[in-house]
Amino acid sequence: MLSASATVDPAFVVGPVRRRTFGSFVEHLGRCVYTGIYDPGHATADEDGFRQDVVDLVKELGVTTVRYPGGNFVSGYRWEDGIGPKSERPRRLDLAWHSTEPNEVGLDEFMRWCTKAGVEPMMAINLGTRGVAEALDILDYCNIAGGTELSDKRRKNGAEEPYKVRMWCLGNEMDGPWQTGHKTAPEYARLATETARAMRQVDPGLELVACGSSSSDMDTFGTWEHTVLSEAYEQVDYVSAHEYYYEEDGDLASFLGSGHKMSNFIESVVATADAARAAGKHTKRINISFDEWNVWYQKATPSMPPTGDDWPVAPVLLEDTYNVADAVVVGDLLITLLRHTDRVHSASLAQLVNVIAPIMTEPGGRSWKQTTFHPFALTARHARGEVLRVAVQSPTMQTAKHGEIAALTAVATHDAETGEVVLFSANRSTDEALELAVDVRGFGDLRVVEAVTYANDDPYWHATADDDTSVLPVPNATAAVSGGAFTMTAPAVSWSMVRFARA
Ligand code: AHR
């Protein structure tokens, strides 16, 4: 048995819990849109063809913002193809995923879906095959009240009121050689700066995201951010970070250390952004939009796009099946995002439905929750108020990929209004339970309202359409607090959440 100790105190404030930390992502990729959120023949489909069972799951997941329409898809996308009468919309090749895009769902449908799901849209624009003019066009269509050709077209298409989209991604993964219209850092810096400047001429209050690196493993990581921010600094608010934590390939310890890798990535992006701030003598800070993150079984067959003459509509792509260990990693990654809430101002779990997703559907049939649904839903629901740093003294574990890392990771939130304190933690050990002792005296007398742990004797258990309830977060009977001392035992490969209230 491992043992770790920690202190949580109301003074250890990192920053606010930002609702946008619990964002997600809907891309025209595989079955995320078609037979995912949209399935007109489904028994629960509404008048727009959206599945109500999926909307209900999205609400239960607690997603706040949804990035759209890609992803790699956006870099070849013409947004005008997806507006107006459906019968007149063109079918086009989607080069990113070697598919055919039928354009049955487009911008107006997505905005209606956002209203139904109660989420904020976060739009990505095409800076792969397009540029400043098209960015201005989509901004006009979305955000201008009326009186211009494009805003009047939106009204004619059924949306009298402007969508008032606040957050815009200036392209997607433009550092990646796989991206349609991939750019060098100086090329992208120029285009992003000019696009942002023009968009701000329409509305200076927009929140604009410059593309950062597609992963911390990119050869250009660091220099890309430096070049882009050296030019675009004053025109943008955020730099993006994308990273997927790849399947466990026989090295569970390294996989469970994914949060350690994400933490290093975030801190390096912050350092690069702050170096650009110093060099350019800027006063504002550039924060991070971590707008693609998840576990991804990238080497698995479902991730391979079609080839040759085969350009299917909505093929099965990236339909990863997640196990309990994956869910522990997702919980740990959320802990990591919260721990950096001072600089990570937005994040998107990629993606939402069917494609590397917490929600799965059968075309015309059932929908169900993957294991990763649970830590996300609980964190999104209960993290409130301010994020508190947890001062941890943890035993360490050796990993092949990250060296020596802490076995325990934790973060807390504190809602000063209600007095609720929530402790989120993960035991990354592959084989040992961990006894945790936490000093919570700074809050006065507390009682445990709820303590749940997600783990399983077989960490490779995964949910199916037939069974997504056998392994759920369950009450942790070892959790107890007395005289400001909290204790709990967390099994190996586990994620836990403990909610406290004033006694
Ligand atoms: O989320 C899947 C893909 O991963 C996205 O389209 C792309 O941006 C990233 O490489």
| Tokens describing residue 257 | 């250390």
Please state, in angstroms and rounded to a whole number, the distance separating the CA atoms of residues 401 and 73.
Answer: 31
For 387-445, the pLDDT digits (tens) are 999 999 999 999 999 999 999 999 999 999 999 999 999 999 999 999 999 999 999 99
Is 292 touching ligand 1 by the criterion CB < 6 Å? Answer: yes
Q: Which two tokens stand for residue 37?
A: 């959120």
Judge whether 292 counts as a catalytic residue: yes
Buried b (16+ CB within 10 A) or exposed e, 25-49: bbbbbbbbbbbbbbbeebeebeeeb
| Cα–ligand 1 centroid distance for 2 (angstroms) | 38
pLDDT at 378: 98
Rounded distance from Cα 140 to ligand 1 centre (Å): 27
CA 374 to ligand 1 centroid distance, Å: 23
Statement: residue 198 has pLDDT above 70: yes
pLDDT digits (tens, 9 = 90+) for 371-388: 999 999 999 999 999 999
**What's residue 242's pLDDT?**
98
pLDDT at 269: 98
Q: Which residue's alpha carbon is nearest to atom 7 within ligand 1?
A: 71
Produce one character per residue of 174-208: b if its CB has 16 or more CB atoms within 10 Å, e if not: bbbeebbbebebeebbebbbbbbebbeeeeeebbb
Q: Is residue 180 over pLDDT 70? A: yes
Asked whether the beta carbons of 233 and 185 are under 8 A apart, the reply is no
Query: Does 51 or 250 have the greater pLDDT score?
Result: 51
Angle made by CA atoms 285, 281, 222, in degrees to the nearest 5: 60
171 CB within 6 A, ligand 1: no
Mean pLDDT across the stretch 117-134? 98
Q: Which atom of ligand 1 is nearest to the CA of 178?
A: 10
Mean pLDDT, the chain, whole residue set: 97
Cα dihedral 4/470/31/19 (nearest 10):
-40
pLDDT at 81 over 70: yes
Over 90: is that where the pLDDT of 451 sits? yes
- Centre of ligand 1 to C-alpha 72, Å, is 6
* Catalytic (active site) residue 231: no
CA–CA separation, 470 and 272 (whole Å): 45
pLDDT of residue 304: 75
What is each CA distance from 443 to 479, 487, 501, in whole angstroms?
17, 16, 10
Q: Ligand 1 pocket, 72 CB below 6 A?
A: yes
- Residue 401 CA to residue 261 CA, distance in Å, equals 9
Q: In this structure, which amino acid lies at residue 32?
A: C
CB under 8 Å to 387, separation ≥6 — which residues?
13, 14, 15, 16, 17, 338, 339, 341, 411, 412, 413
Residue 247 has pLDDT above 80, yes or no: no
Give the model's pLDDT for residue 302.
Answer: 62
Local confidence band at 250 (pLDDT 50, 70, 90 cut-offs): confident
26 lines ligand 1 (CB under 6 A): no
Does residue 282 have a pLDDT over 80? yes
Distance (Å) from CA 351 to ligand 1 centroid? 9
Task: Find out whether the beta carbon of 429 lies less than 6 Å from any atom of ligand 1.
Answer: no
301 confidence band (pLDDT: 50, 70, 90): low
Of all atoms in ligand 1, which is nearest to the CA of residue 72? Answer: 6
Task: Give the 3-state DSSP-derived string for 405-451, with helices as H, strands as E and coil as C.
Answer: EECEEEEEEECCCCCCEEEEEEECCCCCCEEEEEECHHHCCEEEEEE
- Where does 89-222 have alpha helices with state H? 107-117, 132-143, 149-156, 185-202
SS3 content of the chain, % helix, strand, coil (to 5): 30, 30, 45
Residue 394 pairs with which residues in a beta bridge?
none
CA proximity to 25, closest of 67, 70, 58, 71: 67
Per-residue pLDDT band for 268 (boundaries 50, 70, 90) equals very high
Atom of ligand 1 nearest to the CA of 70: 6
